[in-house]
Structure 1
Amino acid sequence: MGDVRAEPDFITSFRGGWEAFAELDEVIWNPISRATVLRSQPRFDERVLDACAGDGASAVPTAELVGPGGVVDAVDLAEPLVEIMRERAGERMPQLRPQVGDVTTWPYTGYDLVQCVLGILFFEDPAAGTRHLVECVRPGGRAVFTVWAAGAMDRIGELLAEALPTDDERVPSFDDARRATIVGADTAGNFAHWLTERGLADVRAEVVPRHLDLDPELAWRLVTGTGFRAFIGGLDDETREAVRERYVAGLSRGSATVDLTTLIAVGHRPPE
């Protein structure tokens, strides 16, 4: 099992609130994961590493596709999400192996497929972590990575930036962290190039567009159930409610939709 590194800020901010993440499954995580699995095409009897597996949105359907003769190591740093995944799978999928661990130091290699859905942004070093995952693929095997496209989740960041107190030391700096994308990897072309530099060959990246209408409840869930939660995690109940009210009020100004467009890239590790 990979060593579990010091708890990242985004995991600390979710302490006691992982249900909010799971509540977005049908709205966000499942559709994006289905689109990824459609392109990663897990095959019968394959060995798969599902990195940053969360509560199993991509790992569970992958386990169904590899069948009882395959193996899916589904790894995430967040133990509560791994437990949700275990409960969902039950005993019907012995090929699914949910595990708590750090995929950036995962010690096992030789996988037919490595896939990572919306995870590499949270690596301490996205480039190094992605290269490590590529090295977990057997020569000739494939890797599939999904990231947010340019502009994705920007509306949520704009609304939250307007709602947060500007003089509260409990609120992290918002200038850089509001980005949901990886610099230099937010279009299909530059994402393919970025992954090629990490060791993949024959990379094909495509844009998967999606927009979602926002109502006040969903708009706030997109804060409490995503990485944006880090900006309200340290606030007391009264301050947080004031932020929520200002945030929801902002919906009446500008667009009432959020861009959930992703980039999905498929590549192969070159044969030795």
Structure 2
Amino acid sequence: MGDTTTVPDLPGEFADAADSFADLDDALWNPISTAAVSRSHPRFDERVLDACCGDGASALPTAELVGPGGLVDAVDRAEPMIELARERAGERMPQLHLHVADVTRWEPTGYDLVQCVLGIQFFPDVEADTRRLIEHARPGGRVAITVWARGAIDPLPELLSGALPDDAGVDVERLTRPSIAVADTAGTLAHWLAELGLVDMRAEAVQRHLDLAPELAWQLVLGTGLRAAVDGLGESELAGVRERFLAAIQDRGVETVDVTTLIAVGRRPE
């Protein structure tokens, strides 16, 4: 399948940036998760594993759909993200169980539905760990995977790279490339997941663009994987990067950013 590895440590970056991540809920994470959940179709009384759940954008609506007779195990490595999800859920959904854990080492199996929204690119070994994720579904159970489409968030990595200090030594294109090379179209994602063991595959691109106002452009740096390029910079350095980055967006005439995702749903063989 070729190189399916990506930089695995971005959940650690998000652990230090939970508030910035949550600032993008309305603009980015909630619409993406709504699209994903509408296709994974959680059902009343089902047991669901929500992998790499972040601040609960997909786990909370899933818990509402399975109802009090169901169960949602929502797992994320970043404790601040889980705390945000817990605050959002309150006491109204006892069926939602939130866990600070590495889902690649998660042990329970037999779920009716396993879903992961924009999380598998963080796995240390994308192919092997996605295969293991699939195995958490019961025979006949559904697996729903959402990933970034080819070209998503372009040209922001390039423009951010040019705005960094000369001595930053950061390969932004490599560090922040959100899509998975072997699964960056609906067709290749479906084919890849079929090779990993799923059947009855269907996949589609959910096309979406965001109007790139300056405030949102900078939020996309601080609240997504782009943040890895600026973590560690001092306050004055960060302010300089912001100024140069926003100026580059204006000079290039970039008015929108593509945030298209790919959503694939398949079934584990009986």
Could you list the per-position Cα deviations for residues 200-221 of structure 1 after superposition, in whole angstroms to 9, with x for gaps in the alignment?
1111110100001101110000
CA-to-aligned-CA distance 1:170-203 (integer Å, 9 cap, x gap): xx32242231100110001000011111111111
Identify the residue that residue 119 of structure 2 maps to in structure 1: 119
The alignment partner of 1:115 has SS state of: strand
The CA distance in 2 between the partners of 1:38 and 1:194, in whole Å, is 22
How far apart in 2 are the matches of 1:220 and 1:255?
13
The alignment status of 1:268 with 2:267, answered yes or no, reads: yes
Q: CA deviation at 1:166?
A: 3.1
Work out whether 1:258 is the aligned partner of 2:257.
yes
Displacement of 1:131 in angstroms is 0.5
Question: Aligned equivalents of 1:17 and 1:261: distance in 2?
Answer: 23
Q: CA deviation at 1:56?
A: 0.5
Q: Where do residues 48-87 of structure 1 align in structure 2 (5 Å cutoff)?
A: 48-87=48-87
Q: Secondary structure at the match of 1:91?
A: coil
Cα offset for 1:155? Answer: 2.1
**How far is 1:91 from its partner?**
1.2
Question: Percent identity, aligned pairs only?
Answer: 63
Contact residue 12 and residue 78 of structure 2 kept, 8 A: no
For residues 1-272 of structure 1, the aligned pairs below 5 Å read 9-169=9-169, 172-252=170-250, 253-271=252-270
**Which letter maps to 1:255?**
V
SS in structure 2 at match of 1:37: helix
Paired residue for 1:3? Answer: none
TM-score (norm 2): 0.94
Looking at structure 1, the residues matched to 136 and 147 of structure 2 have their Cα atoms a distance apart, in angstroms, of 19
Question: 1:51 and 1:15, CA in 2 relative to 1: closer, same or farther beyond 3 A?
Answer: closer
What is the distance in 2 between the residues matched to 1:135 and 1:74? 17
- Alignment match, 1:4: none
Structure 1's 225 and 194: CA in aligned 2 closer, same or farther, altered over 3 A?
Answer: same
In the superposition, relative to structure 1, how do residues 193 and 61 fare at CA in structure 2: closer, same or farther (>3 Å)?
same
- Which secondary structure state, in structure 1, belongs to the residue aligned with residue 134 of structure 2? helix
Q: How many residue pairs align between the two structures?
A: 262
Q: Which runs of 5+ in 2 are unaligned?
A: 1-7
Aligned residues: CA RMSD: 1.1
Q: Is the 8 A contact 2:148 2:179 kept in 1?
A: yes
Q: Give the distance between the partners of 1:11 and 1:132, measured in 2 at CA.
A: 19
CA distance in 1, matches of 2:168, 2:210: 31
Q: Does structure 2 conserve the Cα–Cα contact (< 8 Å) formed by 1:14 and 1:233?
A: no
Distance between the aligned counterparts of 1:62 and 1:53, measured in 2?
Answer: 11
What is the Cα deviation at residue 164 of structure 1?
Answer: 1.3
Gaps of at least 5 residues in structure 1 are 1-7
Post-superposition CA distance 1:240-263 (Å, at most 9, x none): 111100000012113221000000
TM-score (norm 1): 0.94
